[in-house]
């Protein structure tokens, strides 16, 4: 029996953790494939359950510091925590979050406390190290004896706290490397800082005995403190940015109605939606959510289906029409028969699709993390070889004591200068600055992987409603055929529509309100079902409605011109008397003013544009032509949107998806980069990697430019970080000593390490000054 599921993983700290887990699990008999996603801390594992099981797999990863979380069934989507015998946070974990929010917040709080405690120590250390280095160059006077003695006592105390309390994860990285041969960034940091600490402790403890053998008795406690402070700060910021990874599933589940009003034994009974069975007759009153999928059997109403179709106009429902769980009844009361319940509903299907898309592997693994597995042993081999060569070869020319002094100096110098502070900062500092700049521009970026991926996007797919258009019906045009002025016409029609519950009436009333037009007083009001309204204003009888109403009145008018506009997605409201047309008002979901310019700018970047919409083909094509889109796919459901994204990806396209509705959530999760409109639903926002405030799609272009700018900064940072390591290690090893007499004192190794960090941070800060 084959089992393929996505599991949450606890204990992941960097992209190389994902590589370690993959390699470990692939060695287990029965495991067919493993995809570990560091971005959302999950693993998609396919295995033969007759040969292995989840306990065996978790047993392989736990000694390495990673645990696989057993999933809880989603069969009953909204059972309360108490019903499931869980705490509130365990229930949050049940909804798709591997680690409960309480655990995450506790972890972040601990990281923040560690950072806050170590930053002052780092500042003191930098001050001490800077003074010492500058005095070597005669820039400042040497430290007075009392100051030197003060730092001599203070630095080891601070370094001990920093290494064994704040730096505990890095020491564990060293332990696991020694025990299991698995190395990640924690291992690199742990070795560099602990060697600097141990060397300093030995020099301090045995200063008298070592003085005859070693010319320099310099300590490197400050190096230990500064490196751990920088890295801990970066990890804290990363943890904060990933806090809401699993919120999309929670938000989706919250859309589910909690109860259902069913007819049992001829009586209306309110029950939990979990207890609804196929064939139940369910009554839905105005303003309530529809609990399960079904078919209307009695009554009628307008239902807001925007969470499924993304379209703003509520849809009229009558006998035989389908209704969907989670949608909202806006006006009348109706009864429907349950056809799909529990995990069969469309809402449950959307939840499943989002989970699967989020669990698929799409993180960008930083170069620094990729090389860490081989970097650690190479640096250690170089360090020990250097010490051995100094002792063997150096003793013949310099004598043993001098060779030992130079050998130990080179050994520590290599490990200090190879300590990956700049390598560890290269990506996070650029990301931190880039994300901060994005926030100021109204571009909210959820994680580093999203910002990294965005620069290589080749196709931008956009939902129509709420993304390209404003997402709500509004009055777009008025053709006045009467002797009255426009204000009078609006006053008359808003007076009639004031008593209507139809969504179009709200658009007309909103327009009248925006123009400060008071609706006329209407007498003898009457609703004409399926046609419109009628009523008297100042003794004149007026009619407001659709084409059928005007045809029934026997009034002739230009139907062809009206059909053209109707095919473009506009809904006409015709105001007339018994004998003639007074005005024709068009109501539509208007295109956002910035949409056309945004598409032009995307084309300038060489990016293809595609529109996906649940709206009808004629409307979609008319809008696509006006905006200038390359391709349009209309009349699609959430499943179809997801398929289209997969199809583009299969063609080699790097896809960004921009949307605002729950119906867009699966496509947003599947896309290489999901972009949500800030004016959209919480689910779309939580599923997407990027949110554009105010729903301004022109910010998509700025977000792509920001990504390209940030990626350029990251590459420059990595270049400088490697240059320091590549150039520094040979000098620290004494490779140039026989030729030029160069030997890098660990003090200057510390300076080089500090300079590499400063150059990386300074280069990252340049991103702030660039215009998007």
Under the banding of pLDDT at 50, 70 and 90, the label for residue 251 is: low
Q: Where are the beta strands (DSSP E) in 408-519?
A: 443-445, 459-463, 469-480
| Stretch 402-406: mean pLDDT | 71
What does the alpha-carbon distance between residue 218 and residue 416 come to, in Å, rounded to a whole number? 13
Q: Are 734 and 386 in contact (CB under 8 A)?
A: yes
Q: At a CB cut-off of 8 Å and minimum separation 6, what does 236 contact? A: 108, 111, 112, 114, 115
Looking at residue 530, its pLDDT comes to: 75
Edge-to-edge order in the sheet of strand 301-304: 315-317, 301-304, 328-329
Q: How far is CA 109 from the centre of its chain?
A: 21
Angle, helix 503-514 to helix 486-497, in steps of 10 degrees = 140
| DSSP single-letter state for residue 144 | P
130-134, 352-356, 507-511, 718-722: least confidently modelled range: 352-356
Query: What pairs with residue 479 in β-bridges?
Result: 584
Under the banding of pLDDT at 50, 70 and 90, the label for residue 364 is: very low
Q: Are 542 and 575 in contact (CB under 8 A)?
A: yes
Highest-scoring range by mean pLDDT, 143-152, 179-188, 430-439, 749-758: 143-152
51-55, 693-697, 729-733: least confidently modelled range: 693-697
Highest-scoring range by mean pLDDT, 68-72, 439-443, 591-595, 733-737: 591-595
Looking at residue 283, its pLDDT comes to: 92
Q: Which residue has the tokens 């658009």?
A: 507
Looking at residue 248, its pLDDT comes to: 45
Edge-to-edge order in the sheet of strand 2-10: 31-37, 42-48, 2-10, 67-69
The helix/strand/coil state of 49 is coil
Share of the chain above pLDDT 70, in %: 78
Q: Are strands 673-677 and 655-659 parallel, antiparallel or unpaired?
A: parallel
* Structure confidence by residue, pLDDT tens digits, 502-549: 778 888 998 998 888 999 998 888 888 778 889 999 889 999 988 888
Looking at residue 687, its pLDDT comes to: 67
| Residue of higher predicted confidence among 238 and 271 | 271
> Element (H or E) spanning 590, and its range?
strand 581-591
* Structure confidence by residue, pLDDT tens digits, 711-743: 898 888 888 877 777 777 787 777 777 767 666
What does the alpha-carbon distance between residue 662 and residue 676 come to, in Å, rounded to a whole number? 11
Under the banding of pLDDT at 50, 70 and 90, the label for residue 350 is: low
The helix/strand/coil state of 487 is helix
What does the alpha-carbon distance between residue 420 and residue 373 come to, in Å, rounded to a whole number? 13
What does the alpha-carbon distance between residue 352 and residue 666 come to, in Å, rounded to a whole number? 9
Nearest to 214 by CA among 399, 393, 374: 399
What does the alpha-carbon distance between residue 461 and residue 659 come to, in Å, rounded to a whole number? 9
Hey, how many other C-beta atoms are within 10 angstroms of the C-beta on 20? 23
Looking at residue 458, its pLDDT comes to: 95
Tokens of 464: 């129509």
State the chain's mean pLDDT as an integer: 78
| DSSP single-letter state for residue 455 | T
Phi/psi of residue 592, nearest 5 degrees: -65, 140
Highest-scoring range by mean pLDDT, 173-187, 428-442, 459-473: 459-473
| Stretch 33-45: mean pLDDT | 73
Judged against a pLDDT cut of 70, whether residue 120 lies above it is answered with: yes
**Measuring CA to CA, how many Å separate 644 from each of 562, 637, 664?**
33, 11, 12
Q: Is 442 exposed, middle or buried (0-12, 13-18, 19+ CB in 10 A)?
A: middle
What does the alpha-carbon distance between residue 256 and residue 290 come to, in Å, rounded to a whole number? 8
Looking at residue 88, its pLDDT comes to: 41
Looking at residue 436, its pLDDT comes to: 73
Query: What pairs with residue 264 in β-bridges?
Result: 267
Judged against a pLDDT cut of 60, whether residue 243 lies above it is answered with: no
Torsion of CA 348, 350, 353, 357, to 10 degrees: -130
The helix/strand/coil state of 68 is strand
What does the alpha-carbon distance between residue 549 and residue 522 come to, in Å, rounded to a whole number? 19
Angle, helix 698-733 to helix 421-440, in steps of 10 degrees = 160
Tokens of 33: 């494939």
* Structure confidence by residue, pLDDT tens digits, 638-648: 788 889 999 99
Tokens of 432: 């931190």
Under the banding of pLDDT at 50, 70 and 90, the label for residue 77 is: very low
* Structure confidence by residue, pLDDT tens digits, 94-115: 333 334 456 667 778 888 898 8
| Residue of higher predicted confidence among 308 and 613 | 613
What does the alpha-carbon distance between residue 515 and residue 509 come to, in Å, rounded to a whole number? 10
Q: Are 257 and 289 in contact (CB under 8 A)?
A: yes
What does the alpha-carbon distance between residue 588 and residue 565 come to, in Å, rounded to a whole number? 10
9-13, 309-313, 344-348, 451-455: least confidently modelled range: 309-313
Q: Are strands 2-10 and 655-659 parallel, antiparallel or unpaired?
A: unpaired
What does the alpha-carbon distance between residue 30 and residue 46 come to, in Å, rounded to a whole number? 9
* DSSP string for 334-347: EEEEEEE-GGGSHH
What does the alpha-carbon distance between residue 235 and residue 576 come to, in Å, rounded to a whole number? 68
Judged against a pLDDT cut of 50, whether residue 79 lies above it is answered with: no
What does the alpha-carbon distance between residue 475 and residue 478 come to, in Å, rounded to a whole number? 8
| DSSP single-letter state for residue 62 | G
What does the alpha-carbon distance between residue 709 and residue 716 come to, in Å, rounded to a whole number? 11
> Element (H or E) spanning 454, and its range?
helix 448-454
Under the banding of pLDDT at 50, 70 and 90, the label for residue 656 is: very high
| Stretch 177-201: mean pLDDT | 78
Q: pTM (2 decimals)?
A: 0.57
Q: Where are the beta strands (DSSP E) in 568-706?
A: 571-576, 581-591, 608-612, 631-633, 655-659, 673-677, 690-692
Query: Taking the alpha carbons of 39, 452, 187, 221 in that order, is the dihedral positive or negative?
Result: negative
**Measuring CA to CA, how many Å separate 77 from each of 257, 351, 485?**
10, 10, 56
Q: At a CB cut-off of 8 Å and minimum separation 6, what does 492 contact? A: 484, 520, 537, 542, 575, 582
| Stretch 742-753: mean pLDDT | 61
| Stretch 433-442: mean pLDDT | 75
22-31, 283-292, 744-753: least confidently modelled range: 744-753
* Structure confidence by residue, pLDDT tens digits, 372-381: 556 667 777 8
The helix/strand/coil state of 216 is coil
Tokens of 127: 């001050």
The helix/strand/coil state of 548 is helix
Q: Is 146 exposed, middle or buried (0-12, 13-18, 19+ CB in 10 A)?
A: exposed
| DSSP single-letter state for residue 273 | G
Nearest to 253 by CA among 671, 665, 673, 667: 665
| Stretch 645-659: mean pLDDT | 92
* Structure confidence by residue, pLDDT tens digits, 271-322: 888 888 888 989 998 888 898 889 999 988 888 876 655 456 687 888 888 8
Q: Are 418 and 729 in contact (CB under 8 A)?
A: yes
Q: Which residues are catalytic?
A: 463
Torsion of CA 610, 670, 467, 243, to 10 degrees: -150
Under the banding of pLDDT at 50, 70 and 90, the label for residue 81 is: very low
């Amino acid at each position: 029996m084959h089992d393929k599921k996505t599991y949450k993983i606890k204990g992941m700290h960097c992209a190389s953790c994902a590589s370690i887990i993959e390699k470990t699990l692939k060695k287990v008999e029965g495991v067919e494939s493993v995809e570990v996603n560091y971005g959302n801390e999950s693993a998609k594992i396919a295995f033969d359950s007759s040969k292995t099981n989840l306990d065996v797999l978790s047993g392989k990863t736990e000694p390495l510091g990673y645990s696989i979380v057993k999933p809880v069934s989603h069969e009953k989507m909204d059972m309360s925590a108490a019903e499931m015998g869980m705490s509130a946070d365990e229930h949050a974990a049940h909804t798709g979050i591997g680690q409960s929010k309480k655990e995450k917040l506790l972890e972040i709080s601990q990281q923040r406390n560690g950072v806050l405690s170590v930053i002052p120590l780092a500042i003191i250390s930098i001050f001490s190290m800077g003074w010492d280095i500058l005095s070597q160059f005669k820039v400042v006077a040497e430290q007075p004896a009392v100051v030197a003695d003060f730092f001599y006592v203070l630095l080891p105390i601070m370094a001990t706290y920093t290494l064994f309390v704040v730096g505990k994860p890095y020491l564990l990285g060293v332990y696991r490397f020694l025990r299991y041969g698995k190395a990640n960034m924690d291992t690199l940091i742990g070795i560099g800082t602990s060697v600097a600490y141990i060397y300093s402790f030995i020099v301090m403890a045995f200063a008298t005995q070592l003085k005859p053998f070693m010319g320099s008795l310099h300590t490197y406690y400050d190096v230990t403190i500064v490196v751990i402070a920088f890295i801990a700060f970066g990890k804290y910021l990363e943890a904060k940015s990933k806090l809401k990874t699993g919120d999309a599933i929670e938000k989706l589940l919250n859309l589910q109605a909690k109860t259902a009003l069913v007819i049992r034994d001829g009586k209306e009974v309110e029950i939990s939606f979990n207890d609804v069975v196929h064939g139940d007759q369910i009554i839905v009153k105005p303003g309530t959510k529809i609990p399960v999928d079904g078919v209307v059997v009695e009554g009628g109403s307008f239902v807001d289906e925007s969470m499924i179709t993304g379209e703003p106009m509520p849809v009229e429902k009558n006998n035989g029409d389908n209704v969907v769980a989670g949608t909202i009844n806006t006006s009348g009361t109706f009864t429907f028969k349950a056809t799909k319940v529990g995990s069969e509903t469309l809402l449950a299907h959307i939840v499943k699709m989002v989970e699967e898309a989020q669990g698929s592997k799409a993180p960008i693994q930083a170069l620094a993390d990729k090389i860490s597995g081989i970097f650690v042993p190479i640096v250690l081999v170089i360090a020990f070889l250097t010490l051995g060569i100094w002792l063997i070869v150096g003793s013949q020319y310099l004598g043993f004591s001098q060779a030992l002094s130079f050998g130990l100096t080179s050994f520590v110098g290599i490990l200090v200068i190879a300590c990956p502070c700049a390598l560890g900062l290269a990506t996070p500092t650029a990301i931190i600055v880039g994300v901060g700049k994005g926030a100021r521009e109204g571009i909210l970026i959820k994680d580093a992987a999203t910002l990294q991926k965005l620069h290589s996007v080749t196709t931008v797919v956009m939902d129509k409603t709420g993304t390209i258009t404003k997402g709500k019906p509004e009055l777009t045009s008025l053709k006045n055929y009467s002797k009255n002025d426009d204000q009078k016409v609006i006053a008359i029609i808003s007076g009639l529509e004031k008593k209507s519950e139809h969504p179009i009436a709200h658009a007309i009333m909103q327009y009248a309100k925006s123009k400060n037009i008071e609706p006329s007083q209407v007498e003898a009001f009457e609703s004409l079902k399926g046609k419109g309204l009628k009523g008297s204003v100042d003794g004149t009888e007026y009619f407001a409605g659709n084409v059928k109403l005007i045809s029934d009145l026997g009034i002739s008018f230009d139907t062809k011109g009206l059909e053209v506009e109707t095919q473009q997605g506009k809904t006409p409201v015709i105001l007339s008397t018994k004998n003639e047309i007074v005005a024709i008002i068009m109501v539509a979901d208007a295109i956002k003013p910035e949409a056309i310019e945004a598409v032009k700018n995307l084309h300038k970047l060489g990016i293809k544009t595609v529109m996906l919409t649940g709206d009808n083909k004629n409307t979609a094509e008319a809008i696509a032509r006006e905006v200038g889109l390359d391709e349009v796919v209309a009349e699609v459901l959430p499943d179809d949107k997801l398929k289209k994204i997969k199809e583009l990806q299969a063609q080699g396209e790097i896809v960004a998806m921009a949307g605002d509705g729950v119906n867009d959530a699966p496509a947003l999760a599947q896309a290489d980069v999901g972009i949500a409109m800030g004016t959209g639903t919480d689910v779309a926002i939580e599923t997407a990697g990027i949110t554009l405030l105010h729903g301004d799609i022109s910010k998509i272009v700025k977000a792509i430019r920001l990504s390209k700018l940030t990626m350029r900064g990251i590459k420059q940072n990595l270049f400088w970080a490697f240059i320091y390591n590549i150039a520094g290690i040979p000098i620290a090893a004494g490779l140039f000593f026989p030729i030029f007499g160069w030997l890098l004192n660990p003090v200057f190794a510390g300076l080089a390490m500090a300079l590499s960090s400063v150059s990386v941070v300074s280069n990252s800060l340049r991103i702030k000054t660039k215009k998007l």
